[in-house]
């Protein structure tokens, strides 16, 4: 496999999923995403991205846990795969490198 | 959708039903459960937060977002799809390997496609040029030429010539319809002088609104440059040639060596694809009127047509409406007697000048547009031939690639992946061919422009052009690649890998059908080329009624006009010429026609209009016409000043048995007919000669025709002629044209069509033969073993050659049978446009068939003889 490229939104979804720990399924990830990023996101976008990431092999999923409030339908739990973790780490390393290349004081910190 | 009824209390809020149904129907089954579960969960949360109605609304809204192809896709893919273009790269890599593995095959494919694409691109550029004709002018769709229909000799003729009063009348009476009305002269050559330096430039006289109407791009000065009668506007190139780097504005020139005019404007040269491209200087119409004082003093200003009128329709007026409103503009000003010609004025829009310029019986019958269609179709067909090659060669190789397909499928390729693979191959070939085609087009554009009389440029800078190129590549790849892709990917892996795979009995039929299509097109083009060529020859061999050799046409200068007899005497004395005469129309055109004729027994309501040439006494001797009855003009007879000589067509037209000695009245003056001469073909070589008359008038010769001495070399005579001319007219460019060249230019349009169709026919044949060559080589390869066995059993080379070429010959013969009637139908239709036309003879079809067959046999024979000469030991040993 060659270097892979993640879209920005894909990356955010992966990161949120990584932060969720166990038992992450669509609704949880969607809520977390909105909280962490402060954006308003449609649930369909989250679903599409999750499935797509799964197809690309960054995530794996399992069905399980039907509950009453879901009309007896099972949840799909997502987890990061090794490939997914690697992709995130690669991106972070690259970002780190880029940040270090910026001379001190070049970016005026605004706010606190 | 299964809902657990027992778990949910009736009080349970429900999301909207339609939304759930929509999801059920749309979303792929393997996605449905968890997805709906998530939605339901969110819905219930929202009910507690914002209430039922709002939650239901949100639910519906959210569901709508799922209507994307992504969620619709049914197949869960077990394997991760690569997140990069890996697979595409892989396809291209394999395609490239296949391309380099079999170089002959690739060369045939790329070469054929490149030629086909180049032809299609050239024709595309040409068609674009034709359609963008005159679009340089900003008001292109609002400009028109005022034309007139007139009925004479029982036919409706349409003409651009108008009286000089037409423009002013339109302004006065129909002014609200027009933004501009511009009276104009005929474009012609005018002598411009700076001091003693004289040059001749093509120009036109316009009323002041002309430049504004045409939207000329002014480099200097304004549109108001023609307000003063003594002014002139120059195109950039003329300004440069006259004044170099000096500023031309305000400089003084002499026009026609008479009038001092000031330069009041410089405009950008008009591009080659505009009707006014030759107009390099523009002068005021007022100056033309000063130069032609007779116009002002005409007794019947509506009586004769000697100028043109252009108009730009007002912005809120439709062209058709304006055209119908002005129809009686002339009729209203005519006496009852003149109204017999039923003059109808109308507007011929600029957008139709180039492609719809022909009128017949008062109707617009198209024109150049038929050739645009014709070549457009030829272009598409030639490209199609190239695509057919690709298909045939790809499917003919199918047995070679069947194993590959089988293995790929066994390993787990889906059919769509194989299709993609084959498409990648065809697109690669098409793309490479396109690159070659662009090179070819760049190489061929200059000669093509030469033949087509165009200045077409490759449209590098137009984004639209590149977009069209992309679409072009896309479509070509699709057309060429689809059949092989779907055919090859349909093989059953089991039978292929077991070795039981046989190409069926009928597998070759589509290929054969396509070859037949190719040759049908090629043969039609061959037949067409032959017929067009025959038609031109036929018209060229038509009797012209005069002796063309050694005739020279001279421009008339004032000094020559004033001393005509002296000039003629001096030339004859010097031995430069045989004879010389002047006339109002040249030998190769009709410049003036007249009505107002009357004869015994003429129906008083019949409107007539004949070419009527004013000539000097030696006209007949100079041009060498044949006197059929009566005699030629002669200075011996004083009465010849009121005599007519008529042509044979006129004799047919008049009711008299033997017209010589009969009286014709012209403008109520009696003229005696003294002779009948052979028809002189002055106009189109494809139409009958009009009934015409000749009479003596030494005052208005606008043309000089000179017969050189046959004994002297023309160059010697011309040098002598120029020397004597210089004595009379110093410093003016000596301009002359040989009559046979002028005559030759009558065939330009047809010859252009002939040359182009010949080229296209050759290219079509070339492409078709490339294909056949490839096919033959595959078939020879396929049947190597069979040939080996046959040789061992005693078949001769001749037998084998027959075996391999028979099929192809048959296909070509079938193509001939299909092509002949089609070609016959269309060519008959084309020839209908000419009154003087060649008969289509059967041997043309035979020649085309034999030619096509010969070329085919040559092409195939190379391969088949090569195969037949192979040593059977080598081909049979491998078992």
Q: What are phi and psi of B27, to 5 degrees?
A: -75, 140
Per-residue pLDDT of B329-386, as tens digits, reads: 998 998 887 788 889 999 999 999 999 998 988 888 888 898 899 999 999 999 999 9
Q: Does the beta-carbon distance from A69 to B44 stay under 8 Å? A: yes
Structure tokens at B148: 């007139």
Once rounded to an integer, what is the mean pLDDT over residues B25-48? Answer: 86
Q: Does the beta-carbon distance from B38 to A45 stay under 8 Å? A: no
Select from B3, B34, B71 the Cβ nearest to the Cβ of A26. Answer: B34
Query: What pLDDT is recorded for position B77?
Result: 56
- Please give the interface size between A and B, counted as residue pairs whose CB atoms are below 8 Å apart: 85
Q: Does the beta-carbon distance from A73 to B33 stay under 8 Å? A: yes
Give the model's confidence band at B258: pLDDT under 50 very low, under 70 low, under 90 confident, else very high. confident
Going by C-beta distance under 8 Å and a sequence separation of 6 or more, which residues neighbour residue A12? A33, A36, A37
Q: Between the CA atoms of B544, B549, B550 and B551, what dihedral angle is there, to the nearest 10 degrees? A: 10
Query: What pLDDT is recorded for position B398?
Result: 73
Under a CB-based contact definition with an 8 Å cutoff, are residues B317 and B95 in contact? Answer: no
Under a CB-based contact definition with an 8 Å cutoff, are residues B117 and B473 in contact? Answer: no
Share of chain A above pLDDT 70, in %: 93
Per-residue pLDDT of B653-711, as tens digits, reads: 999 888 999 999 998 899 999 999 999 999 888 889 999 999 998 776 678 899 998 88
What are the residue ranges of helices labelled H in B132-189?
Answer: 166-174
Number of domains in chain A: 1
Residue A25 with chain B: CB contacts under 8 Å: 34, 38
**Which strand (E) or helix (H) includes residue B552?**
strand B551-554
**Exposed, middle or buried by CB within 10 Å (0-12, 13-18, 19+), for B164?**
buried
Residue A42 with chain B: CB contacts under 8 Å: 62, 65
Residue A47 with chain B: CB contacts under 8 Å: 31, 35, 38, 66, 71
Q: Does the beta-carbon distance from B83 to A5 stay under 8 Å? A: yes
Q: What are phi and psi of B235, to 5 degrees?
A: -75, 160
In chain B the first and final C-alpha atoms are separated, in Å, by 64
Q: Which of B196, B228, B222, B226 is nearest to B209 (CA)?
A: B226
Instruction: Assign 3-class secondary structure to B306-320.
Output: CEEEEEEECCCCCHH
Select from A2, A27, A42 the Cβ nearest to the Cβ of B41. Answer: A27
Q: Is residue A84 included in any domain, yes or no? A: yes
- Name which of A73, A75, A76, A90 to mutate to probe chain B: the one with the most chain B Cβ atoms within 10 A of its Cβ: A73
Closest CA in chain A for residue B83: A56
Q: Strand B597-598 to strand B551-554: parallel, antiparallel, or no bridges (unpaired)?
A: unpaired
Per-residue pLDDT of B837-852, as tens digits, reads: 999 999 999 999 999 9
Rounded to 10 deg, the angle between the B842-868 and B748-782 helix axes is 30
Under a CB-based contact definition with an 8 Å cutoff, are residues B655 and B621 in contact? Answer: no
Q: Does the beta-carbon distance from A45 to B66 stay under 8 Å? A: no
Query: What pLDDT is recorded for position B878?
Result: 66
Structure tokens at B520: 């049908």
Residue B532 has pLDDT above 80, yes or no: yes
Query: What pLDDT is recorded for position B79?
Result: 60
Under a CB-based contact definition with an 8 Å cutoff, are residues B597 and B662 in contact? Answer: no
Query: What pLDDT is recorded for position A12?
Result: 92
Give the model's confidence band at B483: pLDDT under 50 very low, under 70 low, under 90 confident, else very high. confident
Residue B251 has pLDDT above 60, yes or no: yes
Instruction: Give the C-alpha separation, B572 to B587, whole Å.
Output: 21
Q: Is residue A110 included in any domain, yes or no? A: no
- Name which of A70, A82, A86 to mutate to probe chain B: the one with the most chain B Cβ atoms within 10 A of its Cβ: A70
Domain of A84, in residue numbers: 8-101
Residue B34 with chain A: CB contacts under 8 Å: 25-26, 63, 73-76
Give the model's confidence band at B4: pLDDT under 50 very low, under 70 low, under 90 confident, else very high. very low
Structure tokens at B116: 């086909």
Per-residue pLDDT of B108-155, as tens digits, reads: 889 999 999 999 999 999 999 999 999 999 999 999 999 999 988 888
Share of chain B above pLDDT 70, in %: 96
Going by C-beta distance under 8 Å and a sequence separation of 6 or more, which residues neighbour residue B256? B190, B191, B291
Give the model's confidence band at B734: pLDDT under 50 very low, under 70 low, under 90 confident, else very high. confident
Distance from CA of B473 to the nearest CA of A (A): 30
Residue with tokens 């001190």: A104
Once rounded to an integer, what is the mean pLDDT over residues B758-764? Answer: 91
Select from B2, B62, B80 the Cβ nearest to the Cβ of A43. Answer: B62
- The number of CA neighbours under 13 Å toward the Cβ of B587 is 32
Query: What pLDDT is recorded for position B127?
Result: 92
Q: Which of B381, B467, B387 is nearest to B119 (CA)?
A: B381
Residue by residue, DSSP assigns B480-518 as HHHHHHHHHTT--HHHHHHT-----TTTHHHHHHHHHHH
Per-residue pLDDT of B538-570, as tens digits, reads: 998 999 999 888 899 987 777 888 888 899 999
In chain A the first and final C-alpha atoms are separated, in Å, by 43
Closest CA in chain B for residue A61: B34
Query: What pLDDT is recorded for position B9?
Result: 40
Distance from CA of A61 to the nearest CA of B (A): 11
Longest CA span, chain A: 57
Distance from CA of A101 to the nearest CA of B (A): 28
Q: Strand B610-615 to strand B693-696: parallel, antiparallel, or no bridges (unpaired)?
A: parallel
- Name which of B34, B48, B49, B81 to mutate to probe chain A: the one with the most chain A Cβ atoms within 10 A of its Cβ: B34
Residue A57 with chain B: CB contacts under 8 Å: 80
Residue A23 has pLDDT above 60, yes or no: yes
**Which strand (E) or helix (H) includes residue B382?**
helix B369-396
Residue B36 with chain A: CB contacts under 8 Å: 71, 73
Residue B80 has pLDDT above 60, yes or no: no
A contact set with B (CB within 8 A): 1-2, 4-5, 25-27, 30, 42-45, 47-48, 51-52, 55-57, 63, 66-76
Query: What pLDDT is recorded for position B8?
Result: 41
Q: Between the CA atoms of B512, B518, B524 and B529, what dihedral angle is there, to the nearest 10 degrees? A: -140
Query: What pLDDT is recorded for position B240?
Result: 93
Cα–Cα distances (Å) from A109 to A38, A112, B8, B705, in that order, read 21, 8, 54, 94
Instruction: Give the C-alpha separation, B709 to B577, whole Å.
Output: 5
Q: Is residue A109 included in any domain, yes or no? A: no
Residue A68 has pLDDT above 80, yes or no: no
- The number of CA neighbours under 13 Å toward the Cβ of A111 is 1
Bridge partner residues of B201 (DSSP): B190
Residue B102 has pLDDT above 60, yes or no: yes
Buried b (16+ CB within 10 A) or exposed e, B373-382: ebbbebbebb
Distance from CA of B410 to the nearest CA of A (A): 23
Give the model's confidence band at B270: pLDDT under 50 very low, under 70 low, under 90 confident, else very high. very high
Once rounded to an integer, what is the mean pLDDT over residues A89-108? Answer: 86
Q: Which segment, B312-316, B480-484, B654-658, is predicted with the most confidence on average? A: B312-316
Query: What pLDDT is recorded for position B351?
Result: 93
Query: What pLDDT is recorded for position B75?
Result: 63
Residue B879 has pLDDT above 70, yes or no: no
Name the average pLDDT for chain B.
88
Distance from CA of A15 to the nearest CA of B (A): 19
Report residue B312 CA to chain centroid gap: 26
Query: What pLDDT is recorded for position B74?
Result: 65
Once rounded to an integer, what is the mean pLDDT over residues B289-308? Answer: 88
Q: Is residue A107 included in any domain, yes or no? A: no
Select from B36, B65, B81 the Cβ nearest to the Cβ of A44. Answer: B65
Instruction: Give the C-alpha separation, B153 to B607, whole Å.
Output: 6
Q: Does the beta-carbon distance from B66 to A47 stay under 8 Å? A: yes
Instruction: Give the C-alpha separation, B625 to B675, whole Å.
Output: 12
Query: What pLDDT is recorded for position B81?
Result: 58
Select from A4, A68, A69 the Cβ nearest to the Cβ of B83. Answer: A4
Q: Which of B279, B285, B253, B254 is nearest to B267 (CA)?
A: B279
* Share of chain B residues as helix, strand and coil, in percent rounded to the nearest 5: 55, 15, 30
Closest CA in chain B for residue A51: B31
Distance from CA of B66 to the nearest CA of A (A): 6
Structure tokens at B834: 């000419």
Residue A90 with chain B: CB contacts under 8 Å: none
Query: What pLDDT is recorded for position B134?
Result: 95
Once rounded to an integer, what is the mean pLDDT over residues B87-96? Answer: 86
Query: What pLDDT is recorded for position B217?
Result: 95
Q: How many CB atoms lie within 10 A of CB B491?
A: 23
Q: Does the beta-carbon distance from B34 to A52 stay under 8 Å? A: no
Instruction: Give the C-alpha separation, B234 to B269, whole Å.
Output: 9
Going by C-beta distance under 8 Å and a sequence separation of 6 or more, which residues neighbour residue B173? B329
Closest CA in chain B for residue A7: B83
Q: Does the beta-carbon distance from B2 to A72 stay under 8 Å? A: yes
Q: Is residue A28 included in any domain, yes or no? A: yes
Give this prediction's pTM. Answer: 0.78
Q: How many CB atoms lie within 10 A of CB B73?
A: 14
Cα–Cα distances (Å) from B515 to A69, B324, B767, in that order, read 68, 53, 11
Residue B447 has pLDDT above 50, yes or no: yes
Q: Strand B627-630 to strand B143-152: parallel, antiparallel, or no bridges (unpaired)?
A: unpaired
Structure tokens at B374: 């014709």
Angle at Cα B723 formed by Cα B721 and Cα B725, nearest 5°?
Answer: 70
Longest CA span, chain B: 131
Q: Which of B224, B241, B246, B244 is nearest to B233 (CA)?
A: B224
CATH of the domain at A29: 1.10.10.10
Structure tokens at A103: 């001379």
Residue B310 has pLDDT above 90, yes or no: yes
Once rounded to an integer, what is the mean pLDDT over residues B59-66? Answer: 88
Instruction: Assign 3-class secondary structure to B555-574.
Output: CCCHHHHHCHHHHHHHHHHH
Instruction: Give the C-alpha separation, B377 to B822, whole Å.
Output: 14
Residue A45 with chain B: CB contacts under 8 Å: 65
Sign of CA dihedral B141, B143, B147, B149: positive
Instruction: Give the C-alpha separation, B528 to B757, whole Å.
Output: 8
- Name which of A45, A71, A72, A83 to mutate to probe chain B: the one with the most chain B Cβ atoms within 10 A of its Cβ: A71
Q: Is residue A112 included in any domain, yes or no? A: no
Closest CA in chain A for residue B14: A71
Structure tokens at B848: 């085309």
Q: Does the beta-carbon distance from B86 to A27 stay under 8 Å? A: no
Q: Is residue A55 included in any domain, yes or no? A: yes
Closest CA in chain A for residue B3: A71
Structure tokens at B675: 């002779």
Query: What pLDDT is recorded for position A1?
Result: 42
Q: Does the beta-carbon distance from B35 to A26 stay under 8 Å? A: yes
Q: Which of B120, B119, B177 is nearest to B146 (CA)?
A: B177
Question: Which of A66-70, B298-302, B317-321, B386-390 shows the lowest per-residue confidence on average (mean pLDDT)?
Answer: A66-70
Share of chain B above pLDDT 90, in %: 44
Q: Does the beta-carbon distance from A48 to B37 stay under 8 Å? A: no
Radius of gyration of chain A (CA): 17
Q: Does the beta-carbon distance from B68 to A72 stay under 8 Å? A: no
Instruction: Give the C-alpha separation, B115 to B444, whole Å.
Output: 11
- What 8-state DSSP symbol labels residue B729? S
Distance from CA of B54 to the nearest CA of A (A): 16
Select from A43, A57, A66 the Cβ nearest to the Cβ of B42. Answer: A43
Q: Is residue A2 included in any domain, yes or no? A: no
Once rounded to an integer, what is the mean pLDDT over residues B162-175? Answer: 93
Query: What pLDDT is recorded for position B83?
Result: 53
Instruction: Give the C-alpha separation, A33 to A41, whole Å.
Output: 8
Once rounded to an integer, what is the mean pLDDT over residues B311-322? Answer: 94
């Amino acid at each position: 496999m060659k270097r892979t490229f993640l879209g920005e939104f894909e990356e955010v979804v992966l990161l949120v999923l990584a932060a969720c720990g166990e038992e992450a399924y669509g609704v949880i990830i969607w809520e977390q995403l909105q909280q962490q990023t402060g954006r308003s996101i449609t649930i369909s976008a989250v679903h599409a991205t999750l499935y797509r990431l799964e197809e690309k092999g960054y995530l794996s999923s399992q069905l399980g846990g039907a509950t009453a409030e879901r009309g007896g339908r099972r949840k799909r739990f997502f987890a990061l795969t090794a490939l997914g973790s690697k992709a995130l780490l690669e991106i972070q390393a690259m970002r780190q490198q880029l940040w270090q290349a910026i001379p001190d004081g070049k970016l005026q910190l605004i706010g606190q | 959708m299964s809902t657990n009824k027992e778990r949910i209390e009736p009080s349970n809020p429900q999301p909207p039903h339609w939304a759930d149904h929509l999801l059920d129907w749309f979303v792929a089954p393997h996605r449905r459960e968890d997805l709906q579960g998530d939605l339901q969960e969110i819905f219930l949360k929202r009910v507690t937060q914002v209430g039922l109605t709002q939650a239901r609304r949100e639910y519906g809204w959210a569901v709508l977002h799922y209507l994307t192809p992504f969620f619709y896709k049914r197949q869960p893919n077990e394997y991760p799809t690569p997140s990069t273009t890996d697979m595409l790269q892989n396809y291209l890599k394999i395609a490239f390997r296949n391309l380099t593995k079999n170089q002959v095959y690739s060369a045939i494919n790329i070469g054929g496609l490149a030629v086909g694409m180049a032809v299609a691109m050239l024709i595309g550029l040409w068609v674009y040029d034709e359609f963008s004709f005159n679009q340089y002018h900003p008001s292109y769709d609002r400009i028109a030429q005022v034309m007139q229909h007139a009925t004479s000799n029982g036919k409706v003729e349409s003409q651009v010539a108008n009286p000089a009063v037409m423009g002013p009348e339109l302004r006065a009476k129909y002014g609200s319809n027009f933004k501009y009305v511009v009276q104009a002269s005929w474009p012609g050559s005018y002598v411009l002088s700076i001091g003693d330096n004289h040059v001749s430039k093509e120009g036109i006289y316009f009323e002041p609104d002309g430049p504004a109407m045409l939207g000329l791009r002014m480099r200097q000065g304004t549109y108001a440059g023609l307000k003063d009668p003594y002014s002139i506007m120059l195109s950039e190139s003329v300004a440069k040639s006259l004044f170099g780097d000096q500023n031309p504005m305000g400089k003084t020139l002499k026009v026609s060596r008479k009038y001092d005019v000031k330069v009041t404007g410089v405009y950008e040269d008009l591009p080659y694809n505009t009707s006014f491209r030759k107009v390099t200087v523009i002068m005021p119409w007022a100056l033309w009127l000063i130069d032609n004082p007779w116009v002002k003093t005409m007794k019947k200003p509506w009586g004769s047509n000697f100028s043109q009128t252009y108009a730009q329709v007002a912005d809120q007026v439709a062209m058709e409406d304006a055209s119908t409103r002005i129809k009686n503009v002339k009729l209203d000003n005519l006496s009852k007697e003149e109204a017999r010609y039923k003059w109808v004025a109308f507007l011929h829009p600029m957008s139709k000048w180039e492609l719809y310029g022909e009128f017949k019986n008062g109707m617009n019958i198209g024109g150049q547009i038929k050739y645009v269609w014709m070549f457009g179709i030829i272009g598409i067909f030639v490209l199609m031939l190239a695509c057919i090659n690709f298909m045939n060669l790809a499917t003919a190789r199918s047995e070679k690639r069947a194993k590959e397909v089988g293995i790929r499928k066994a390993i787990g390729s889906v059919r769509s992946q194989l299709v993609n693979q084959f498409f990648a191959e065809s697109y690669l070939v098409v793309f490479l061919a396109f690159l070659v085609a662009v090179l070819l087009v760049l190489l061929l554009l200059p000669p093509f422009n030469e033949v087509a009389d165009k200045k077409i440029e490759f449209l590098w800078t137009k984004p639209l052009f590149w977009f069209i190129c992309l679409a072009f590549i896309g479509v070509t790849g699709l057309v060429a690649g689809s059949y092989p892709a779907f055919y090859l990917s349909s093989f059953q892996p089991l039978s292929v890998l077991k070795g039981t795979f046989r190409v069926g009995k009928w597998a070759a039929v589509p290929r054969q059908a396509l070859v037949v299509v190719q040759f049908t097109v090629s043969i039609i083009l061959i037949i067409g080329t032959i017929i067009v060529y025959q038609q031109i020859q036929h018209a060229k061999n038509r009797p012209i009624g005069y002796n063309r050799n050694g005739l020279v046409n001279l421009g008339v200068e004032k000094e020559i006009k004033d001393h005509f007899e002296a000039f003629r005497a001096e030339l004859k004395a010097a031995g430069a010429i045989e004879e010389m005469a002047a006339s109002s129309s040249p030998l190769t055109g009709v410049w003036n026609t007249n009505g107002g004729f009357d004869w015994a027994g003429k129906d008083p309501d019949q409107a007539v209009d004949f070419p009527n040439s004013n000539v000097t006494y030696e006209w007949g001797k100079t041009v060498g016409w044949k006197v059929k009855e009566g005699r030629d003009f002669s200075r011996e007879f004083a009465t010849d000043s009121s005599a007519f000589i008529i042509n044979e067509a006129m004799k047919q037209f008049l009711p008299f048995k033997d017209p010589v000695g009969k009286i014709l009245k012209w403008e109520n003056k009696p003229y005696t007919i003294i002779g009948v001469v052979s028809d002189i073909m002055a106009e189109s070589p494809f139409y009958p000669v009009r009934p015409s008359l000749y009479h003596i008038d030494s005052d208005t010769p606008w043309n000089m025709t000179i017969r050189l001495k046959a004994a002297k070399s023309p160059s010697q005579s011309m040098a002598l002629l120029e020397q004597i001319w210089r004595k009379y007219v110093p410093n003016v460019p000596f301009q002359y044209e040989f009559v046979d060249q002028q005559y030759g230019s009558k065939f330009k349009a047809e010859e252009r069509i002939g040359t182009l169709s010949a080229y296209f026919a050759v290219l079509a044949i070339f492409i078709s033969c490339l294909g056949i060559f490839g096919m033959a080589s595959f078939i020879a390869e396929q049947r190597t073993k069979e040939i080996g066995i046959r040789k061992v059993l005693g078949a001769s080379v001749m037998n084998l050659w027959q075996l391999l070429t028979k099929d192809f010959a048959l296909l070509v013969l079938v193509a001939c049978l299909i092509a002949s009637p089609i070609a016959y139908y269309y060519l008959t239709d084309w020839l209908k446009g000419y009154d003087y036309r060649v008969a289509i003879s059967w041997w043309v079809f035979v020649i085309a068939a034999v030619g096509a067959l010969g070329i085919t046999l040559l092409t195939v024979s190379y391969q088949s003889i090569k195969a037949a000469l192979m040593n059977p030991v080598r081909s049979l040993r491998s078992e």
